[in-house]
Structure 1
Amino acid sequence: MDGTDYAAEGLLEGLDDDAQARAERIALLDRLVAEGVPLPELRRAAAEDRLALLQVERMLGTEEYTPREVAARVGLPVELILRHRQALGLPRPDPDDRVLTESDIETAARLKAFHAAGLSEQGILEVSRVLGEGLARVAATLRPLVRDTFLEPGIGERELSDRYATASAQLGPQLGVVMQHILNMHLRDQLRTDVVGRAELVRGGVLGAVEMSIAFADLVGFTKLGERVPAEELGAIAGRLTELAVEAAQPPVRLVKSIGDAVMLVSPDPDALLATSLEIVAAADAEGEEFPRLRAGVATGPVLGRAGDWYGSPVNLASRITGVARSGSVVAAGATRDAATASDRWAWSPLPARRLRGVDHPVPLFRVRAPAA
Structure 2
Amino acid sequence: MDFEAEGLLEGIDDERSRADRIALLERLLAAGVTPEELRRAAAEDRLALLEVERMLGTEQFTPREVAAVAGVPLELVLKLRQALGLPRPDPDDRVLTASDVEAAERLKGFHEAGLPEEGILEVARVLGEGLARVAATLRPLVRDTFLEPGIGERELSERYATASAELGPQLGVVMQHILNMHLRDQLRTDVVGRAELARGGVLGAVRMSIAFADLVGFTKLGERVPAEELGAVARRLTELAGDVAGSHSPVRLVKTIGDAAMLVSPDPDALLESSLELVAAAEAEGEEFPRLRAGVATGQALGRAGDWYGSPVNLASRITGVARPGTVVAAGATREATAGDGGRWQWSQLPNRRLRGVDHTVPLYRVRPAAPS
TM-score band w.r.t. shorter chain: over 0.9
Identify which of 293, 297, 300 aligns with 2:298: 300
In 1, Cα distance between the equivalents of 2:266 and 2:356? Answer: 25
SS of the aligned residue for 1:300 comes to strand
Q: Supply the distance in 2 between the matched residues of 1:192 and 1:176 (Cα, whole angstroms).
A: 25
**Equivalences for residues 341-356 of structure 1 within 5 A:** 341-356=340-355
- What is the alpha-carbon distance in structure 2 between the residues aligned to residue 155 and residue 49 of structure 1? 15
Q: Could you tell me which residue of structure 2 aligns to residue 73 of structure 1?
A: 69
Corresponding residue for residue 227 of structure 2: 231
Q: Deviations over 1:79-132 (max 9, x none)?
A: 000000000000000000001111111111100000000000000000000000
Structure 1: how far apart are the matches of 2:197 and 2:94?
47
Provide the secondary structure at the position in 2 that maps to 1:7.
Answer: coil
Query: How far apart in 2 are the matches of 1:105 and 1:169?
Result: 21
CA deviation vs aligned residue, 1:263-283 (integer Å, no higher than 9, x gap)? 000000000000000000000
Shift of 1:343: 4.5
Q: How many residues align?
A: 369
Residue of structure 1 equivalent to 2:6: 9
What is the correspondence of 1:84-233 to structure 2 with a 5 Å cutoff?
A: 84-233=80-229
- 1:327 aligns to what SS in structure 2? coil
Q: Distance in 1 between matches of 2:154 and 2:140?
A: 19
Structure 2 spans left out of the alignment, 5+ residues? none
AA partner of residue 326 (structure 1): R
Aligned residue identity for 1:113: G
Task: Find the residue that maps to 1:190 and give its secondary structure.
Answer: helix
Name the CA distance, whole Å, in 2 between partners of 1:343 and 1:113.
53
In structure 2, distance between residues paired with 1:372 and 1:222 = 32
Aligned equivalents of 1:147, 1:313: Cα separation in 2 = 43
What is the distance in 1 between the residues matched to 2:15 and 2:354?
Answer: 70
The alignment partner of 2:207 has SS state of strand
Q: Of 256, 263, 268, which residue of structure 1 is paired with 2:266?
A: 268
- Pick one of 21, 26, 36 that aligns with 2:22: 26
Once the 2 structures are TM-superposed, how far is the Cα of residue 19 of structure 1 from its aligned partner?
A: 1.2
Q: CA deviation at 1:192?
A: 0.1
Secondary structure of 2:343's counterpart equals helix
Q: Distance in 2 between matches of 1:190 and 1:76?
A: 32
User: Which amino acid in 2 is paired with 1:352?
Assistant: P
Residues 257-336 of structure 1 mapped to structure 2, 5 A cutoff: 257-336=255-334
- Which residue of the partner structure matches residue 58 of structure 1? 54
Question: Which residue pairs with 2:249 in the alignment?
Answer: 251
1:282 aligned partner, one-letter code: A
Q: State the distance in 1 between where 2:256 and 2:153 align.
A: 37
User: What is the CA-CA distance between 1:7 and the residue it aligns to?
Assistant: 1.2
Task: State the Cα deviation string for residues 196-232 of structure 1 (Å, max 9, x = none).
Answer: 0000000000001000000000000000000011111
* Counterpart-to-counterpart distance in 2, 1:35 and 1:208: 54
Question: Structure 1 length normalisation: TM-score?
Answer: 0.98
Task: Kindly report structure 1 stretches of 4+ aligned residues shifted beyond 4 Å.
Answer: none
Unaligned runs of 5+ in 1: none
Q: Per the alignment, in what secondary structure is the counterpart of residue 87 of structure 2?
A: coil
Q: Which amino acid aligns with 1:130?
A: V
Cα RMSD between the aligned structures? 0.6
1:365 and 2:361 aligned: no
Identity of aligned residues (%): 82
Equivalent AA in structure 2 for residue 144 of structure 1: P
How big is each residue's C-alpha offset from its partner over 1:222-279, in whole Å with a ceiling of 9 and x where there is no partner? 0000001111110010000010011100320000001000000000000000000000
Between 1:181-190 and 1:19-28, the stretch displaced more is 19-28
Aligned with 1:344: secondary structure? coil
Give distance in 1, aligned partners of 2:52 and 2:208. 46
Amino acid at match of 2:203: L
When residues 34 and 112 of structure 1 are mapped into structure 2, their CA distance, relative to the original with a 3 A threshold, is: same
Which range moves more in the overlay, 175-184 or 341-350? 341-350
Amino acid corresponding to residue 92 of structure 2 in structure 1: D
Distance in 2 (alpha carbons) for counterparts of 1:342 and 1:164: 57
Cα deviation for residue 167 of structure 1 reads 0.4
